[in-house]
Amino acid sequence: MNSAQIYLDHNATTPLRPEVLAVMQRYLTEDFGNASSLHAFGHAARAGLEDARVFLADALGCAPAEVHFTSGGTEADNWALVGSAAVRGPGRIVTTAIEHHAVLHTCRHLESLGCEVCLVRPDRRGWVDPGVLEARLDEHTILVSVMHANNETGVLQPVAEIGQLARRRGIPFHVDAVQSFGKVPVQVDQLGADLVSVSAHKLNGPKGVGALYVRAGTRLAPWTHGGGHEGGRRAGTENTAGIAGFGRAAQLAQTEQQGRQSVLEALRNRLEAGILAAVDGVQVNGQGAPRLPNTLNLSVAGVQSEALLLAFDLEGVAVSSGSACSAGGEAPSHVLLAMGLDRRLAGGSLRFSLGWGSTAAQVERVICLLPGLVRRFRDLAGGA
Ligand SMILES: *Cc1c(COP(=O)(O)O)cnc(C)c1O
């Protein structure tokens, strides 16, 4: 990335911070030992691993032993769902229609193994009403899984309330907090969660490392079988460099969160107001619901989002059309469709997500560019 490029796709992934790289380098070179080895090399690696576990536990408000490192958010989501179904037997899983594919496609897999999956729809703002979800809970429900913040719209879900509903019935509660962790406080007791998924690369850490919080006493089948790693629940020699980097990234996010997020929120609000003033026929998806401070999801009437994305790319600006996982595909976002957008508006959606390195000058450049791009595509559509 050169300095003229503008990266506004932080919900897809984030740049690695230099402080994180420095820690990782140490565990890739000097302290390269296997954390299970009994000699000094092993002890050094083990110390880095356990320090990271403490940093994660501090950030999540839990005990270090409740943090289990994984290969990322997707694995944590898979483990939470499959591992719960394995010990509680096939039954009903209540989740939402706007979850990440790491949850939705795992649910589909569990359906093939005899589970029944209930997908609760959000309201038009992309917010899941706890009362609507409560009506779907029954005595066969083995798990409730609801994301903390939606990755496409940034809408924050009422997980604390949903957690109480689940707890009252003795149903374990999983929260996919991959998108919120590092952006807003994620404290396991406040979420009322028994299982929480997080991922390093969404908060300026490395790709391919994440964690699953498992509340002490929660029944969950082991994920991989082999050595006794991660409390005997997730076997495999630990990715010490990645995990140490994750720990540092979580620590940085925690200390800087408040200050940084209010700056990002001001930038996001300026971007939103600037675009709404400059372009007509734009709606903000998720408006009126509590949202992450960094995310802006828009639908632009009369324009295909892929066309806008590519035009922005030619100008050196990276944005997203819906979720990164469906990029390249023609399918409109399942999140926006579940919110009740028609296919045309859903197909004209753009996501701007700000983060570390975002500046006011970048925001002004986007506000300046968008009207011309939209006019060009609308003229083309009108003339055809
Ligand atoms: C990115 C993301 C995931 C997947 O995490 P990976 O570490 O990329 O596997 C899961 N859930 C949500 C909400 C996400 O934003």
Distance of CA 3 to the CA centre of its chain: 27
CA of 179 to the centre of ligand 1 (A): 7
pLDDT in tens, 154-180: 999 999 999 999 999 999 999 999 999
- Residues whose CB falls within 8 Å of the CB of residue 213, separated by 6 or more in sequence, listed in order: 60, 62, 66, 67, 68, 188, 193, 195, 196, 197, 198
Task: Kindly state the tokens that stand for 299.
Answer: 């639908």
pLDDT at 244 over 60: yes
Give the per-residue pLDDT at 328: 54
Give the per-residue pLDDT at 331: 82
**Residues 27-51: what's their mean pLDDT?**
97
Give the per-residue pLDDT at 323: 46
Give the per-residue pLDDT at 330: 60
CA 312/CA 314 separation, integer angstroms: 5
Per residue, the 3-state secondary structure of the chain, as one string, reads CCCCCEECECCCCCCCCHHHHHHHHHHHCCCCCCCCCCCHHHHHHHHHHHHHHHHHHHHHCCCHHHEEEECCHHHHHHHHHHHHHHHHCCCEEEEECCCCHHHHHHHHHHHHCCCEEEEECCCCCCCCCHHHHHCCCCCCEEEEECCCECCCCCEECCHHHHHHHHHHCCCCEEEECCCCECCECCCHHHHCCCEEEEEHHHCCCCCCCEEEEECCCCCCCCCECCCCHHHHCECCCCCHHHHHHHHHHHHHHHHHHHHHHHHHHHHHHHHHHHHHHHCCCEEECCCCCCECCCEEEEEECCCCHHHHHHHHHHCCEECECCCHHHCCCCCCCHHHHHCCCCHHHHCCEEEEECCCCCCHHHHHHHHHHHHHHHHHHHHHHHHC
Tell me which of 70, 74, 145, 152 to substitute to probe ligand 1's pocket, judged by most ligand atoms within 8 Å of the beta carbon. 74
Q: Which atom of ligand 1 is nearest to the CA of 74?
A: 9
Please report which confidence band the pLDDT of residue 76 belongs to, taking 50, 70 and 90 as the band edges. very high
- Please give the order of strands across the beta sheet that includes 116-120: 67-70, 210-214, 195-199, 173-176, 141-145, 92-96, 116-120
pLDDT at 33 over 60: yes
Confirm if 176 and 73 have CB atoms less than 8 A apart: yes
Q: Which atom of ligand 1 is nearest to the CA of 199?
A: 7
Task: Kindly state the tokens that stand for 357.
Answer: 């390195």
Ligand 1 site residues, Cβ closer than 6 angstroms: 72-74, 77, 100, 102, 147, 151, 176, 178-179, 199, 201-202, 210
Please report which confidence band the pLDDT of residue 199 belongs to, taking 50, 70 and 90 as the band edges. very high
Mean pLDDT score of the chain: 95
Please report which confidence band the pLDDT of residue 285 belongs to, taking 50, 70 and 90 as the band edges. very high
Task: Kindly state the tokens that stand for 68.
Answer: 């289990």
Give the per-residue pLDDT at 225: 96
Check if 325 is active-site.
Answer: yes
| Active-site residue, from 62, 118, 325, 368 | 325
Give the per-residue pLDDT at 114: 96
pLDDT in tens, 252-280: 999 998 889 999 999 999 999 999 999 99
**Residues 93-103: what's their mean pLDDT?**
98
Tell the residue nearest (CA) to atom 6 of ligand 1: 73
Give the per-residue pLDDT at 96: 98
Tell the residue nearest (CA) to atom 5 of ligand 1: 73
Say which range, 53-62, 238-247, 313-322, 363-372, has the weakest mean pLDDT. 313-322
Q: Which atom of ligand 1 is nearest to the CA of 208?
A: 7
Give the per-residue pLDDT at 329: 57
Give the per-residue pLDDT at 322: 66
The model carries a pTM of 0.97
pLDDT in tens, 318-335: 999 964 444 555 689 999
Which residue segments constitute the domains of the chain, with CATH numbers given? Answer: 6-14+257-383 (3.90.1150.10), 18-252 (3.40.640.10)
